[in-house]
Structure 1
Amino acid sequence: MNPYVLVILLSSLGLGTTLTFASSHWLLAWMGLEINTLAITPLMAQQHHPRAVEATTKYFLTQATAAAMILFASTTNAWMTGEWNINDLSHPIASTMVIIALALKIGLAPVHFWLPEVLQGLDLLTGLILSTWQKLAPFALIIQVAPTIDPILLTSLGLLSTLAGGWGGLNQTQLRKILAYSSIAHMGWMIIILQFAPQLTLLALGTYILMTSTAFLSLKLSSATKISTLSAMWSKNPTLASTTALALLSLGGLPPLTGFMPKWLMLQELTTQELPLTATIMALAALLSLYFYLRLCYAMTLTISPSTINTTVPWRTQNTQSTLTLALSTTMALGLLPITPAILSLVT
């Protein structure tokens, strides 16, 4: 892609997200979301491959549906209450439609079916943008409208998402689909705690972005897109294989890695709010996700290519990709647990 066009598209991505962050009017927030969608569409289709075009079409139709629902809900709220302000979403029909539309935007269950298929058709860097940056603007709106949403609806969305993300990833062999189901499960954790402690939602979103960035950049460096190609990683680059395995375990929420911090604090908060059954279901759903992370770690570190898995060993050419971003994100994705009190004091 032409570098000037790339700069314009990335700038538009930043503009759309910033516009949604700064808006207090529903029409302005809707415009920011639309700019975001239109800016990432050419990035998704840049490979000119049928899978990429199919993924781009699915993504565009899904996001257009969600945007239309948001516009309809905000218009309904303005018709009923006379207010376009985001914080004045008082009509129950409008608030329910908005949360369903935003759930469709970020891929929450039960409207998550588009996310694995879309992510599978993209290259890893575009998939990274879709899994991290594209969730910021809808999340800003969700946090603002959360006080007006029925708590039972939020809890149902969170539980469904963690269970769907765990069950859906069990039988997958494509790494991008596994990371998509991982995203669905993590979104469920963030939504369920939002009504009790919004600062924990922000903390979980930040750690999720760090861990997912590490996973995507590691897979990009090793040119791996399915489980069978992971077995060659250890012989090619043992250090990368070790850090990638630890990053995946951090995504699963194992101590003493960074991913344990938000899950620990969220389960503690749910117990404090006298919701032990919900906390138990969430913890058991996390075990489902942990299983497919362990599958990836097993393929990377405990198998020797090509003895145990039928795969073509790639050439061991010198990799010229920059690894500074990967090094920084890996360090933070693995080692932030000891400074949990300092991080909590920043977000609260």
Structure 2
Amino acid sequence: MFFPLSYYIFFFSLLLGSMISISSTSWFGAWIGLELNMMSFIPLITLKMNSYYSESALKYFLVQALGSALLIMSSFFFISLSYLASIFLFLALLLKLASAPFHFWFPQIMEGLAWPQAFLLMTIQKLAPMILLSYLLFSPFLVSMTLFSAILSALIGAIGGLNLTSLRKIIAFSSINHMSWMLIAISAGDSFWLFYFFIYSFIVFPIVISFHGIQAFTLSDLISSDSKTIYHASLIAFTFLSLGGLPPFTGFIPKWMIIQIMVNLNLFIPLFFLLISALITLYFYLRVIITFIILLNPAISFNMKYKSPNVSSPMLLLSISFNFFGLLLPAYFFLT
């Protein structure tokens, strides 16, 4: 259990806020849902009396309040300058999504969160702003801004994750990089980015569960942990390779779909930056994987004590098996 029973009410209201934003017929109702979502997530961050959690909660509140202020300010222009209002609204949602160039707050807040809260911030907290963002892509200028933000997110998410030892910051910059693919998918259609979003959520879930189980927050924590087994090494390795979009793992399927869409739309320049960034992110994923591979070498770790990991739950095994669904993809072409 990640949260005490007393905090499930906040989790329920967090989901309720997202549902209000998604199903609202006005921007005022969407704003109310976003505020409810934000105020429900802050108590979940400060689950324990910890200075790092309190600092992250304060930073998250200030950034989201700035995004809400931009959203409210955009409503002032809807009467006379509706086009300008849509631009301000678009920028406010980019800030709430931590998409470049408004990514600055995301890695720092992730650094101060526990793994379950980090998973919520990477997945559920981005669902409502992304759906609201898809409502705004009615003009070519906003689509061009989306492509520009996607290119920046791809480059910053790839370059920012280099030479980091903090696992939470590595996952944070990885999330910024994946946001670039989802922004491209949003400009193409709602079904594409929803498919990518759910695949990404299922892939990142076993990583969070595993790191939370062994309380690993840096690469040195992985080295000093008592869970250096073939089970953990394969779990981390396969999941990170799937997260990097390496075929034939499941994470390659949504990226392949978006690559085909971008080729059909002649978006070759954004596609070049996204593919280059995917290679760079795969490099810093391999840094985490190689740590496990080296430690499993008996010549190096013969004097280390090994402890059987107590994380082999059915949910975790199902999560890691999800990464191998991509192996079944060739069967689809043979059957059709």
TM-score of the alignment, normalized to the shorter chain, above 0.5: yes
> 1:190 deviation in Å?
0.9
Compared CA separation, residues 2 and 222, structure 1 to 2 (3 A): closer
Partner of 2:93: 102
What's the counterpart of residue 92 of structure 1?
A: 83
Give the aligned partner of residue 80 of structure 1: 80
Match of 1:214 among 199, 206, 209: 206
Cα contact 2:229–2:296 (8 A) shared by 1: no
Distance 1:241 1:35 in 2: 39
1:135 aligns with 2:126: yes
CA distance in 1, matches of 2:233, 2:222: 9
Q: What is the rounded CA distance, in whole Å, between the counterparts of 1:72 and 1:293 in structure 2?
A: 40
Q: Which of the residues 132, 140, 146 maps onto 2:137? A: 146
Is the contact between residue 261 and residue 337 of structure 1 (CA under 8 Å) also seen in structure 2?
A: no
User: Structure 2 stretches of 5 or more lacking a match?
Assistant: none
Counterpart of 1:30 in structure 2 is: 31
Q: From 196, 209, 212, give the equivalent of 1:204.
A: 196
Q: TM-score normalized by structure 2?
A: 0.90
Q: How large is the Cα RMSD of the aligned pairs?
A: 2.6
Separation in 1 of the partners of 2:226 and 2:241?
17
- Shift of the 280–126 alpha-carbon distance from structure 1 to 2, 3 Å rule, reads same
The answer to whether the aligner puts 1:48 opposite 2:49 as a matched pair is yes
Bigger drift between 211-220 and 230-239 goes to: 230-239
Q: What residue number does 1:231 align with? A: 223
**3-state secondary structure, aligned to 1:229:** helix
Q: In structure 1, which of residues 338, 341, 344 is the aligned counterpart of residue 328 of structure 2? A: 338
Calculate percent identity across the aligned residue pairs: 34
Distance 2:66 2:253 in 1: 35
Specify the code of the residue in structure 1 equivalent to 2:39: L
> Normalised by the size of structure 1, how large is the TM-score?
0.87
Query: Could you tell me which of 247, 250, 270 is aligned with 1:278?
Result: 270
Equivalent of residue 292 in structure 2, options 284, 292, 300: 300
Q: Which moved more, 1:267-276 or 1:108-117?
A: 267-276
Question: C-alpha separation between the residues in 1 aligned to 2:87 and 2:299?
Answer: 54
- Count, aligned residues: 329
Asked if 2 retains the 8 angstrom alpha-carbon contact of 1:44 and 1:126, the reply is: yes
Cα distance in 2 between the residues matched to 1:53 and 1:139: 27
CA pair 125-285 structure 1, distance change in 2 beyond 3 A: same
Runs of 5+ in structure 1 lacking a partner? 82-90, 343-348
